[in-house]
Structure 1
Amino acid sequence: MAAMIGRIWGAFNPPTPPKSKDALKFGVLGAANIAPLALLGPAKSHPEVVIQAVAARQREKAEKFAKSNNIPEVKNSYQEILDDPNIDCVFIPLANSLHFEWAVRSIRAGKHVLLEKPSVANSTEAEILFNLPELSKHDGPVLLEAFHNRFYPAWHFFRSLINPADVVHVSSNSMIPWWGTGKDDIHFNYNLAGGTMMAMGTYNFAALRMAFNAEPEECLSCDVTPGTEGVHKKCDYDFTAKFRFPNGAIGEAHSTLKGPTMWTPSHVTATHRAVVVPDKTLPADQEKTQSREVTLHGVIHGIFWHRIDVKDVFEIRNKDSGSVIKKWTEKQSHKTYSFNEAGGEFEHLPGETNWMSYRYMLEQFVNRVKGRKTQHWVGQQDSIAQMKMLDMAYEKSGLGLRPTSKYTSSVE
């Protein structure tokens, strides 16, 4: 308990080293509640990041946000941030429906972009955004969909324990208690590209894709509880979706923004088929098989708590008859709050036990902008594939795709 308290305290009260002369200056588009957790806090401990400016729809709101977060400049508009040659990067935590327009505007203004997930409202927008010609230039802007949990050590250690070629089933679950959201939240506004799949569900879908290391071939089912009136009508309050992946593998995802009172950690479980493992101690007419189940508890915010459980089931079988001669189970559990704790191929990677997933992500983002090597990344085609999966589920649910921005008509 003491270690957990110290780790979390350190995450919210990080060391603040001096900023380098060539530190990247960020502008924040929108005084969003997620910004302090996703960028402002992590930036404190990064010597190459300065939060320089913020703009909001109401200047008064931006001024209040800037004062409470020690941001030196308040701009009158989002565009004013983009027009400022002193700003190197922008963070876009706006409503989903505004991601496309302001990401495109930012890239065309020559700014590097850290874009909140989901990147856009649908795959039509994703295809346009992530294929902008500016992104293919050697010295062009960097664009990253902010899937922060995919940069966390526990996620990479989890993936090292599975063999996607042998995975036959993956399930992923997440939730937010009913008291954590209100009916007027942007998550429940169709015009703002809201919905549970767009909110928590996108984490679940990404977990399936990464565990299989493949894209879904079909959404077999997607059951939702939709809103009943006005802008809420086409928004899913919860969902349960099933996908078919290559070779008949099945992926299942569930999430709700109206969950039970008690919050429970997100998790993903990958189940392997039984495979033959070499064992020279066995007679020639016998073989040893292994089937594995790996569960990562705490997929999304691993710093608060997570655990990786590994269950291996072994059997000794007669090759001819297939009869089981012996069967046993071995279990292990792991926690990896830093890459050093993960050990092996990971131990040389940067990070501290009090780094949040957002801080790990910021490290890689800065490295990419600075032209240095990045160990982990969410590529442009990856983000397009992610939106195609969301579209697939929304089509199957009967709610239809999230609306496409009118700004797409101005992008040649």
Structure 2
Amino acid sequence: MDPPTIAGVVIGCCAGVGLIFCVYSSSSLLGRLIALPRQTCKEKNRNAVRVGILGAANIAPMALIFPARKMEDVVVAAVAARSFKKAQTFAKKYGIETVHENYNDLLDDDSIDVIYNPLPNGMHAFWTIEALKRGKHVLCEKPLASNADEVRAMIKAAAENKPKDGRKEGLLLVEAFHYRFHPLAREISRLVKSGVIGEVSHIEANFEIPWPFPPKSDIRFDMNGSNSELAGGSLMDAGCYAVNVMRLATDGKEPSEISTSKIIESYKGIDQSADAQFDFENGMTARIKCAFRAWGLKVPKLKVEATKFNLYVYNYLAPFVYHRLELTNRETMEKVVQNFYEGGASTYEYQLRAFVGALRGDRASMELCDFAGSPEDALKNMTIIDKIYEKAGLKPRSGKPIETL
């Protein structure tokens, strides 16, 4: 795979963070990215976790396939897609041994331990619940569902069904907010929780994907607004990150009110941008902005104003590409700049290692999965997204109907 292709994968998989200039400005970084597909384990463990992919999604190589190649205890063993031919092509390209005719055949494969679900948002709940019913653990892309009611149904399915592998803790369902598995996110949380920066007064977070991404024919635009069951929109795809990182900086406090919500639709029911402001019971305020096809370079950032220090994070989303954490003393205005590369592993590698560790019963991995992507936290995030839509006079998204609702 050549450098331009890898660069395209990074941009696409990170949803157009606009950091290509950083990639090419660092030869060591570019080398790591180019090496991702080639970092292959010589031999997999006999009891390696076997993962099946629902859909030949563009995110799957960066989020799962490449990290799995670096791990002895994970095998990407099967794939199914809407088109059998597309699944075959995908499997051949990435060395996946089994191709199933359809999604149900994959879910019925007793040799598969885990399902990775990168399908469109509106298909997350339906197919995740189907996987849980068959006793499969699930790593599901964000947002976990189309709305809060769907998340509740997923939590219920995870609790009511037993894992095929007999895991004593039950079925593992994790929302793939990959950035939260990285040491940078844990440091943000530590700084807030410990009181190092003082009492937080205001938070701002954004994720605005630069023009021309995504094209309006993309599933994130519900394919030119033609299929509402895909549950697309900028708030769902990009805004879920901004809401999530805002909540990371609140020390567990949830907004008491959405004071303003401005949403611009590209098609009826499909938002191209969103701008929302929040009030909290303790007087804290927050604001999130998200967009598709935004003009200019708008890297995902987090700004936190507090009584002792102001916290600024440049590129919270894909910190393995490039990031910067700044702490500015409110009294002296002295600034300290930090970064947390720790070997250069991608957020996706941290995520997969934690997921597999949690399956194996590793306590630290289970705690990290709970911190980064528990379904209970997904419910809180989705509840806020639903309310942002409602405040703007719109209905929450809805996906493929599920029987449990």
Given the two structures, how large is their TM-score scaled by the length of structure 1?
Answer: 0.84
Q: What letter is aligned with 1:376?
A: L
2:247 aligned partner: 209
User: Which stretch has the larger CA shift, 177-186 or 388-397?
Assistant: 177-186
Q: What letter is aligned with 1:56?
A: A
How far apart are the structure 1 equivalents of 2:333 and 2:162?
50
Tell me if the contact between 1:120 and 1:126 (Cα under 8 Å) persists in the aligned partners. yes
Could you tell me how far 1:10 is from its partner in structure 2?
4.3
What secondary structure is seen at the aligned counterpart in 2 of 1:67? Answer: helix
What secondary structure is seen at the aligned counterpart in 2 of 1:172? Answer: strand
Q: Deviations over 1:330-386 (max 9, x none)?
A: 111011112xxxxxxxxxxxxxx2311010000110011111121412222111111
Could you tell me how far 1:17 is from its partner in structure 2?
4.3
| 1:73 aligns with one of 87, 98, 106 | 98
Check if 1:187 corresponds to 2:191.
no
Could you tell me how far 1:193 is from its partner in structure 2?
0.7
1:310 aligned partner: 327
1:348 aligned partner: none
Tell me if the contact between 2:192 and 2:250 (Cα under 8 Å) persists in the aligned partners. no
1:247 aligned partner: 282
| 1:150 aligns with one of 168, 175, 180 | 180
Could you tell me how far 1:154 is from its partner in structure 2?
1.4
Could you tell me how far 1:238 is from its partner in structure 2?
0.8
Q: What letter is aligned with 1:380?
A: P
Could you tell me how far 1:57 is from its partner in structure 2?
0.8
Tell me if the contact between 1:29 and 1:54 (Cα under 8 Å) persists in the aligned partners. yes
In the TM superposition, 1:68-107 aligns within 5 A as 68-107=93-132
In the TM superposition, 1:220-369 aligns within 5 A as 220-227=259-266, 232-260=267-295, 262-273=296-307, 291-314=308-331, 328-338=332-342, 353-369=343-359
Tell me if the contact between 1:118 and 1:198 (Cα under 8 Å) persists in the aligned partners. yes
Q: Quick one: structure 1 residues 29 and 90, their matched pair in 2 at CA, closer, same or farther if it must change by over 3 Å?
A: same
Tell me if the contact between 2:329 and 2:335 (Cα under 8 Å) persists in the aligned partners. yes
1:50 aligned partner: 75
How far apart are the structure 2 equivalents of 1:148 and 1:241?
23
Tell me if the contact between 1:162 and 1:294 (Cα under 8 Å) persists in the aligned partners. no
Tell me if the contact between 1:27 and 1:89 (Cα under 8 Å) persists in the aligned partners. yes
Could you tell me how far 1:191 is from its partner in structure 2?
2.8
Tell me if the contact between 2:117 and 2:141 (Cα under 8 Å) persists in the aligned partners. yes
Q: Quick one: structure 1 residues 207 and 312, their matched pair in 2 at CA, closer, same or farther if it must change by over 3 Å?
A: same
Tell me if the contact between 2:123 and 2:399 (Cα under 8 Å) persists in the aligned partners. no
Could you tell me how far 1:135 is from its partner in structure 2?
6.2
> Where does structure 1 lack aligned partners over 5 or more consecutive residues?
274-290, 315-327, 339-352
1:22 aligned partner: 47
Q: What letter is aligned with 1:71?
A: I
Q: What letter is aligned with 1:329?
A: M
Q: Quick one: structure 1 residues 357 and 371, their matched pair in 2 at CA, closer, same or farther if it must change by over 3 Å?
A: same
Q: Quick one: structure 1 residues 337 and 17, their matched pair in 2 at CA, closer, same or farther if it must change by over 3 Å?
A: farther
> Where does structure 2 lack aligned partners over 5 or more consecutive residues?
1-25, 223-227
Q: Deviations over 1:159-201 (max 9, x none)?
A: 2233477111110011211212111211122331111010011
Check if 1:393 corresponds to 2:392.
no
- Structure (1 or 2) with the larger CA radius of gyration: 1
Q: Deviations over 1:36-80 (max 9, x none)?
A: 111111111011110111001110111111111111111001110
What secondary structure is seen at the aligned counterpart in 1 of 2:152? Answer: helix
How far apart are the structure 2 equivalents of 1:50 and 1:358?
15
Check if 1:2 corresponds to 2:41.
no
How far apart are the structure 2 equivalents of 1:362 and 1:158?
21
Tell me if the contact between 2:229 and 2:399 (Cα under 8 Å) persists in the aligned partners. no
Could you tell me how far 1:253 is from its partner in structure 2?
0.4
What secondary structure is seen at the aligned counterpart in 2 of 1:386? Answer: helix
Tell me if the contact between 1:124 and 1:404 (Cα under 8 Å) persists in the aligned partners. no
Q: Deviations over 1:11-44 (max 9, x none)?
A: 4543524211110111101111111111111111
Tell me if the contact between 1:226 and 1:237 (Cα under 8 Å) persists in the aligned partners. yes
Q: Deviations over 1:208-230 (max 9, x none)?
A: 11100221211111111102xxx
2:378 aligned partner: 383
Aligned residues: percent identity? 31
Tell me if the contact between 1:17 and 1:46 (Cα under 8 Å) persists in the aligned partners. no
Could you tell me how far 1:139 is from its partner in structure 2?
4.4
How far apart are the structure 2 equivalents of 1:39 and 1:82?
18
Check if 1:173 corresponds to 2:206.
yes
How far apart are the structure 1 equivalents of 2:264 and 2:38?
40
What secondary structure is seen at the aligned counterpart in 2 of 1:41? Answer: helix
How far apart are the structure 2 equivalents of 1:84 and 1:130?
23
Tell me if the contact between 2:230 and 2:399 (Cα under 8 Å) persists in the aligned partners. no
